Amino acid sequence: MNLTLKQLHDLLLARHNALSDQLGHEADPAKAEAILTEMQELLHRIDLVQGLLFRQSSQKLDDCLARIKKADDALGQATQSIKNAADLVKSMSEFLKAVDEAIDLAKTLAVT
């Protein structure tokens, strides 16, 4: 998270909150209206900074994704190495089947 932007966001929030407290104690309609307008201006800036903060931290999430994907690839390779052992046994079995067929064929040729 961008620390400068975060500090700015925190500052704006604290200022908005202070004005909100002030509004709660203001009985004069004109002054109350002025405080609310100032709060709205602050809120607009809070939203803008929030948007920037959210975009920047999302970029950081994307940066971390490469490490998760790398781990996922490693998992895939580890799984494949186990499957390779099974494939080795399977290919041996298939090889013997081919040998049987070759012998059967040789026997047929010998008879004819």
Partner 1 sequence: MRIIAYIRLLSFGLVLVSLSAGCGTVPIQNIQDFTTGVTAAQKQTTLAFQAVTDLTSDDVIDYAAAQPTLTDENFFLVLDPKAEAAWDRSFLALEKYGQDLVVLTSPDLTKDYKDYSVSLAEEIKKTGQVLQGANLVTSAPEPSAVLATAFTKLGDLLLRAKAQADAKRIVSATDPAVQQILFEMAADIGDSDGTGIRGTVHAHWQQRKGKCQVAFTKSDDAGKRKLAVQFAGLISQQQAQDAVLESLHRSLLALASAHRALAKGEPFSMAASIAFIKNEVQDTEQLYSKFKNSSED
Which chain residues interact with partner 1 by CB under 8 A?
Answer: 1, 6, 9-10, 13-14, 16-17, 20, 23-24, 26-29, 32-33, 35-37, 39-40, 42-44, 46-48, 50-51, 53-55, 57-62, 64-65, 67-69, 71-72, 74-76, 78-79, 81-83, 85-86, 89-90, 92-93, 96-97, 99-100, 103-104, 106-107
Cβ-based neighbours of 23, under 8 Å, separated by 6 or more: 32, 35, 36, 39
Taking the complex as a whole, the smallest distance from the CB of residue 24 to partner 1 amounts, in Å, to 6
Taking the complex as a whole, the smallest distance from the CB of residue 34 to partner 1 amounts, in Å, to 10
Q: How far is CA 19 from CA 22, 39, 97, 101, in A?
A: 5, 7, 85, 91
Taking the complex as a whole, the smallest distance from the CB of residue 42 to partner 1 amounts, in Å, to 8
Cβ-based neighbours of 53, under 8 Å, separated by 6 or more: 1, 2, 5, 6, 9
